[in-house]
Structure 1
Amino acid sequence: MDIQAVIFDLDNTLVNRQAAFKAYSEQFIDRFTVKTHPSERTELIEYMRVADRDGYRNKRELYQELLEKFNMKSGVTVDQLLNYWFEQFFRCTVLMDGAEHTLQRLKAKGIKLGVITNGSIRAQHRKIDQTGLRSYFDDIIVSDEVGCKKPDQAIFKLALERLGVEAQACLFVGDHPVNDIQGASKAGLTPVWLQGFRQWEPSVEAAPHTISRLEECLQLVEQLMEQHRSGAKPS
């Protein structure tokens, strides 16, 4: 079946969350902590990076830990830190290299485009709007809006239904071996692993396609469509 749609993960796929969190952490440290030595700033930023677990940490739990571990300025509360997160993190959003060019080219080919992202409604939609990419997508699904999240097959099948395409005609591009690659594969989509952000999970079957830059999606789509036209089996 020809490629009719490409669905993307958001964090560390269309946007570079690691770069965004580093920039946010620098602002956070300057805004809320009392530092006694210049080297302490670097140590605190690294502590935040590890404690955040690449976004998979409960935010209230994270900021309760930071409040207890860091030498905070007088009067700082967990609620204040949480409010700062929701009001400032999306402003630090960094578009992944080649993201807009990739979407432009795919759209020009008549391919439907979508996003499936785990996370809160407010945070994820704000990131998308910050990038200016919303108009490229035929559908955007945020897990908190629909009551299920990756790797649940239901969220992938919902996206297929909304886009009006069969699973075999859809690629899913993401960085997470379990949530993105295994989840998409079990739902019948063809997964594409964007490497460089997470280590591969040994328990997960190897992805059929691996890329190191988003723009490699363009060549992959061309290759798969050519195979479909010629009747050749994927290599």
Structure 2
Amino acid sequence: MEAVLFDLDNTLVNRKQAFEQFSRKFIDRFAAAHNPEHRLRLVEQLRAADRNGYREKRELYEEMRRTLPMRDEATTAEDLLAYWFAEFPSCTVAMDGAELVLQELKSRGIRIGCVTNGSARAQYAKLDQVQLKGYFDAVIVSEEAGVKKPDRRIYEMALSRLQARPENCWFVGDHPEKDAQGAAAAGLRPVLLLTAPAESGPLLPEGTLTINKLQELLPLCTGPFLRF
């Protein structure tokens, strides 16, 4: 094995947990909640609108400005978006086992990459918050790359930086389409981290491995699964 590449959100960092914390802070800062029950409904409204991170942020906060009762009617969508960029990274926490897995892969001489969709500002800030950036030999963010997962070109950019061949690399992520299907199309072996109950959706590519926690990756890297 030459390299292991990772998704970021809900793979190396617990984005769901981070957004739960951020949602409460956001509603307390901007929304005019009438009582604790109303506050909880507004928090849930924001969480649902976020679609687990698969929502363009400007669109999301323009919607929140239109639909949330504001403490201050002078607040703009730009104010809400600025608060996202300023505050969300500080809510970021590493996924259980993330640093242990990266340390072990690095000790084995395996190159490590990260391929993530999002803004460069937000994604690098998350890596800084959890102090994982130093483990990576290459980090590719879609905003800088000009293409997003599952476009095979973003994986090929990472492989080029890593000077690695796709048939000797794995990609670990939590999304069946954006991570597993995209990686397979680029010739990498997909490893799907199961972070939520299974739902009907896109079929996994042939040869996809599944894990329930990151630590389960390590024995696979030395087992019979190294070849497709």
Superposition TM-score tier, normalisation by shorter sequence: over 0.9
Q: List per-residue Cα deviations over 1:83-113 (Å, max 9, x = no partner).
A: 1001111111011000000101111111100
Q: Quote the Cα distance in structure 2 between the aligned partners of 1:48 and 1:202.
A: 24
Q: Quote the Cα distance in structure 1 between the aligned partners of 2:24 and 2:201.
A: 34
Q: Quote the Cα distance in structure 2 between the aligned partners of 1:121 and 1:103.
A: 21
Is the 1:176–1:198 contact (alpha carbons within 8 Å) kept by the matching residues of 2? Answer: no
Q: Counterpart of 1:223 in 2: which secondary structure?
A: coil
Aligned-residue RMSD, C-alpha? 1.5
Q: Residue 120 of structure 1 aligns with which residue?
A: 119
How far did residue 200 of structure 1 move?
4.8
Is the 2:180–2:208 contact (alpha carbons within 8 Å) kept by the matching residues of 1? Answer: no
Q: List per-residue Cα deviations over 1:117-173 (Å, max 9, x = no partner).
A: 001111111111111011111010001111111101111111111111111110100
Aligned mate of 1:61, from 59, 62, 74 = 59
Q: Residue 32 of structure 1 aligns with which residue?
A: 30
State, as a whole percentage, how many aligned pairs show the same letter: 49
Q: Residue 219 of structure 2 aligns with which residue?
A: 219
- List 4+ stretches of structure 1 deviating above 6 A: none
Is the 2:176–2:192 contact (alpha carbons within 8 Å) kept by the matching residues of 1? Answer: yes
Is the 1:172–1:189 contact (alpha carbons within 8 Å) kept by the matching residues of 2? Answer: yes
Is the 2:176–2:202 contact (alpha carbons within 8 Å) kept by the matching residues of 1? Answer: no
Q: Quote the Cα distance in structure 2 between the aligned partners of 1:175 and 1:197.
A: 9
How far did residue 70 of structure 1 move?
1.4
| Structure 2: segments with no counterpart, 5+ residues | none
Q: Quote the Cα distance in structure 2 between the aligned partners of 1:25 and 1:108.
A: 38
| Structure 1: segments with no counterpart, 5+ residues | none
Q: Quote the Cα distance in structure 2 between the aligned partners of 1:150 and 1:36.
A: 41
Is the 1:151–1:179 contact (alpha carbons within 8 Å) kept by the matching residues of 2? Answer: yes
Does 2:119 align with 1:140? Answer: no
> Alpha carbons of 1:201 and 1:153: their partners in 2 closer, same or farther (altered >3 Å)?
farther
Letter in 1 for 2:213: R
Does 2:158 align with 1:159? Answer: yes
Q: Residue 14 of structure 2 aligns with which residue?
A: 16
Letter in 1 for 2:59: E
Letter in 2 for 1:170: C
Q: Residue 85 of structure 1 aligns with which residue?
A: 84
Letter in 2 for 1:222: T
